[in-house]
Structure 1
Amino acid sequence: MFKNLLSSSRPFTSRLVSSGVLSASLTAAAALSPLQALADPVTIQSCDRQVTFDSPPKAAVSHDVNMTEMMLVLGLRDSMVGYTGVSGWKTLDEEMRRKVKELPELAAKHPSKETLIGHDVDLYFAGWNYGMKVGGEVTPETLAPFGINVYELTESCSHIIDRPKITMADMYNDLLNLGKIFGIEEKAESLVAGYKSEMSEIQNNLKSPEKPLRVFVYDSGEDKPFTAGRYAMPTALIEAAGGKNIMDDFEKSWGTIGWEAVVDRNPEVVVIVNYGKVTAEQKIAFMKNNPAFADIDAVKNDRFVVLEYVEATPGPRNIKAVKKLAAGFHGS
């Protein structure tokens, strides 16, 4: 029934202030003085572990574009030796290319343990299915003997522990924890306060219907779609914009479902995640041209909203994503 148009694979990287605000934040960060030593050891909760830092990391590596952007927006470029997991998935946009031009990419996809050890890394900021796999070569346990601490992306903790449904607070939590780890707690708190203020303004201006709009997240896949479940960031973004992810009872972060569930739940809006070789336009065309989807409200009414990968994964551009979704849902 479905033509072989779209790839069913998605980077095992699981994926917002406006560009102007982000650029301003980065400029301000560059003007700050170098990181100061921590007055006392700092202990951070990372998924089901507690990680202690005696001093700020000096040779950190971030995995994927969203975590790299978290580091940069906090002004931590000088504390990094590089990043991993971006070019292999084609998620680096022009804005991010400018921001990381002075940083080397140590691995196009998943870094090996040897890569991290060889660059004397002291902090690996990654997540489960974002640069680490359960039982894989690179985990907090395999890196610990080499003096490499790991801070895990909060969103990704659902892969190893039971946790509540995703919220915007999970993204804020990562920024605040990075602030503590690097001894720039006040800067992180100020940044998060600004994001929360922007979010309040967006939500105060929402023209919400009586019931939240039914929304489906289409990441990739043809025979079966790859989508966001209750633990993936788009669920929080959609709710913040006044919608409801039709798959928020799907007990996964990202995963594959059947098209039947999409048709049965009849989304009013489809959110397209744009990255990789298959364009957002091709994904939209696939849904609009397939007779199996002809009766879906979103398809009938041509209601599609496109989020870039870096907007749909936890990070600084989540605020921009909520604003974009609110406009697509309600014209806000």
Structure 2
Amino acid sequence: MKLTFTTLAALMIAGSAFAQTTVQSCDREVTFDHPPQAAVANDVNLLEMMLVLGLADRMVGYTGISGWNKLDQEMTAGVAALPELSSKYPSREVLIGADADFFFAGWNYGMKVGGEVTPETLAPFGIQVYELTESCIHIGQKAPSSMEDMYNDLRNLGTIFDVSDRAESLIEGYQAELDAFLAALPPLEATPRVFVYDSGEDVPFTAGAYAMPNALIEAAGGTNIMNDLEKSWATVGWEAVVARDPEVIVTVNYGEVTADQKRAFMMENPAFADIDAVRNDRFIVLEYAEATPGPRNIEAVKTLATAFRER
């Protein structure tokens, strides 16, 4: 990694007040001698975590957003000063060429198991990696997804970048906001059965026990009908969806096929006519950045909780 005079000066200043710190990243302990000064984040939800922590000035760019049509108007304004280094997953050369010293990514969020870009392949180039907590299931065991996954990432990023006070303030604010919102809602008469429809027509791509929507649905008072699927995001058979008869279907809006098109596919297909959610046209739309770990999870829980009570 090439260091400019400005970067070296920043490191000297940061190092004088920064004690060496270690965070847990999936199955690894990662030690930082100083806060990163040239970070890259992959995917819109990880980028938003960096932005809400006020870390844009510590970044040299982002990757993996425009290639999947995930950049909405709010995010377009938020990243105006940062370049997109790769429209999809970055190559190792892209990160090295950007003089990056830190990569915030996850398994299937910018890195693939056994792929070209991993913590091990980047280490020789002075690029440290912090892995998205939700994604750790792809390389080992973890607890089923919960809101704590997102809070854990914010807390660890706060430690890495020496903005722990800011991170804790955000977390406490999110928790208080969500608790107050849910407490003001009327109780549910019954727990709704919910199916997450991300994509796919021959077979649906959905959220299992280790994907963030499982946590969002539970926090809002529902039950993910695929919560016994011991995976994160995965495909299942339509037969299982029909058999479990969801009362609510959550469509994830991103990519070439819109949420409206996904709803139309299910509403117009005779094979789904007897599903409770289809019969009663109970569809909820979540944007990609709401359905994956990040700051928009709070609004996602509010959206779900409100809709569950309007059935």
Q: For 1:114 and 1:206, how far apart are their aligned partners in 2?
A: 51
Instruction: Out of 103-112 and 196-205, give the one that drifted further.
Output: 196-205
Which AA in structure 2 matches 1:135? G
Q: For 2:43 and 2:14, how far apart are their aligned partners in 1?
A: 24
Q: Residue 68 in 1 paired to residue 47 in 2?
A: yes
Q: What does 1:32-51 align with in structure 2 at a 5 Å threshold?
A: 38-51=17-30
Match of 2:91 in 1: 112
Contact map agreement 1:38 1:183 (CA 8 A) in 2: no
Match of 2:303 in 1: 324
Which AA in structure 2 matches 1:312? A
Matched pairs, number: 299
Q: CA deviation at 1:40?
A: 1.1
Q: Residue 191 in 1 paired to residue 170 in 2?
A: yes
Q: For 2:30 and 2:160, how far apart are their aligned partners in 1?
A: 10
Q: For 2:302 and 2:15, how far apart are their aligned partners in 1?
A: 36
Contact map agreement 2:158 2:165 (CA 8 A) in 1: yes
Identity %: 67
Q: Does 1 or 2 have the higher relative contact order (CA < 8 Å, sep 6+)?
A: 1
Q: TM-score, normalised by structure 2?
A: 0.94
Which AA in structure 2 matches 1:293? F
Match of 1:59 in 2: 38
Q: Residue 82 in 1 paired to residue 61 in 2?
A: yes
SS in 2 for 1:115: helix
Q: For 2:114 and 2:20, how far apart are their aligned partners in 1?
A: 29
Q: For 1:243 and 1:270, how far apart are their aligned partners in 2?
A: 11
1:93 equivalent among 72, 76, 94: 72
Q: For 2:16 and 2:50, how far apart are their aligned partners in 1?
A: 18
Call closer, same or farther: CA 1:307–1:217 in 2, change over 3 Å.
same
**CA root-mean-square deviation:** 1.4
Q: Show structure 1 runs of 4+ deviating over 4 A.
A: 34-38
Q: Residue 313 in 1 paired to residue 275 in 2?
A: no
SS in 1 for 2:295: coil
Q: Name structure 1 gaps, 5 residues minimum.
A: 1-33
Match of 1:140 in 2: 119
Q: For 1:68 and 1:173, how far apart are their aligned partners in 2?
A: 15
Q: For 2:247 and 2:235, how far apart are their aligned partners in 1?
A: 20
Q: CA deviation at 1:35?
A: 6.8
Q: For 1:141 and 1:269, how far apart are their aligned partners in 2?
A: 42
SS in 1 for 2:18: coil
SS in 2 for 1:62: strand
Q: Residue 286 in 1 paired to residue 262 in 2?
A: no
Q: For 1:96 and 1:164, how far apart are their aligned partners in 2?
A: 30
Contact map agreement 1:229 1:247 (CA 8 A) in 2: yes
Q: TM-score, normalised by structure 1?
A: 0.88
2:202 equivalent among 209, 219, 223: 223
Q: Once the two structures are superposed, what CA deviation does each residue of 1:160-179 show, in whole Å capped at 9, x if it has no partner?
A: 01111100000000001000
